[in-house]
Amino acid sequence: MKKIILAITCIASLLSSCEKSKDLQIDNNKQGQLKIKFDHIVGSKKLVLNEYTYSNTSNETFNITMLRYFVSNIKLTKLNGDVYSLPKEKSFFLIDAASDSSLSPKLLIPEGEYKILEFNLGVDSLTNTLPIEQRTGVLDIATNGMYWAWNSGYIHFKLEGNSPQSTNANKSFKYHIGLFGGYDSPTVNNNRKISVDLTKAGLSKVQQNLSSDIHLMVDIGKIFDGKHTISIQETPVVMTSGPHTKIADNYATMFSHDHTHNFQKL
C-alpha cells in the first residue's frame, strides 16, 4: 500500500512539474489571446438594467437604465518589468452594459506572464483632436451616442437611471462625463488612468492558441460612494457643470481584480 501511495505521489509531482514547465515556456515572438471581462455590480448586487433597485449611502434608491464607458490605451507589465502597449489604433473599446458582446474585449499580445493591467477610462486628448475621418469603429462620432457635437468632445462615461429622490420632473438622473483638456484653451480633463494589480488574484499567463481571461469586478455603486459622495437629489444631472470631476475620481475606483483563468481554449 505504501508503494502505491509513493507511486501516486511521484506521478502527481511529475505532473505538477510538467505544468510549471508549461507555464514558463514563453516565446516573445509568439502571441496569445488576452480577454478582459468586465462584470458590473452595484455594491453586492449584480447590475441588471431597468429591473433591480439599488441604494447608496445617502439613503437614495435608484435603478440603472444605461451604462457606457470607453476603455483605451491598454498596457500590460510583465513580471520582469517589461511593458507592452497595445497599438493605439487597436486600443479603443466601448463597454456597454446593454451589449454582452462588448463586455469581454479580446486582445492579441506577446506571450508572457503579466502582473499589471493598465488602461485609460475615457478618450485621450490626442484622439479627441484627430481629423474626423480618422475616427472609426467605436470612435465614430455618428454612432453610440458618446459624443458631444455641441461641445466637440467624447463622453467618457455615461450613466442614466431613475430615483424617487431625483428632483427632475420624470425622476430620472443622468451623469454624462466628458472633457479632455481642451482644444485651444485648457479645460478640465476627466480621463482617468486605471491600474490593476494582478499578483494577488492570479497573474495573466498568455500563450499562443490559448486565452488568458482576466475577470474585473466593476462596482457602479462607487459612482455615488467612492472617493466622493454624490447625491442624486442634490445633483440629478451632471454634464459640463456640477461635480463632474468628482464623478471622474469616483469611476477611477470602480475596478478590482477578481480572478484570472489561464490556458483557456479559444
pLDDT tens for the chain, 266 residues long, are: 444 444 444 444 443 333 343 555 889 899 999 999 999 999 999 999 999 999 999 999 999 999 999 999 999 999 999 999 999 999 999 999 999 999 999 999 999 999 999 999 999 999 999 999 999 999 999 999 999 988 889 999 999 999 999 999 999 999 999 999 987 778 899 999 999 999 999 999 999 999 999 999 999 999 999 999 999 999 999 999 999 999 999 999 999 999 999 999 99
Cell of 11: 506521478
Contact by Cβ (8 Å): 71, 251: no
pLDDT score recorded for residue 88 = 94
pLDDT score recorded for residue 183 = 78
- Distances 263 to 39, 144, 214 between C-alpha atoms, Å: 20, 34, 12
Q: How far apart are the first and last CA of the chain?
A: 42
% residues pLDDT > 90 (the chain): 85
pLDDT score recorded for residue 212 = 98
Closest among 76, 67, 232, 222 to 155, alpha carbons compared: 67
pLDDT score recorded for residue 92 = 98
Classified as helix, coil or strand, 30 is coil
pLDDT score recorded for residue 214 = 98
pTM for this prediction:
0.90
φ, ψ for residue 261, nearest 5 deg: -105, 115
pLDDT score recorded for residue 26 = 87
AA letter at 16: S
pLDDT score recorded for residue 22 = 52
AA letter at 32: G
- Distances 251 to 114, 149, 219 between C-alpha atoms, Å: 24, 24, 9
Closest among 256, 253, 113 to 193, alpha carbons compared: 253
Lookup result for grid cell 439599488: 54
AA letter at 42: V
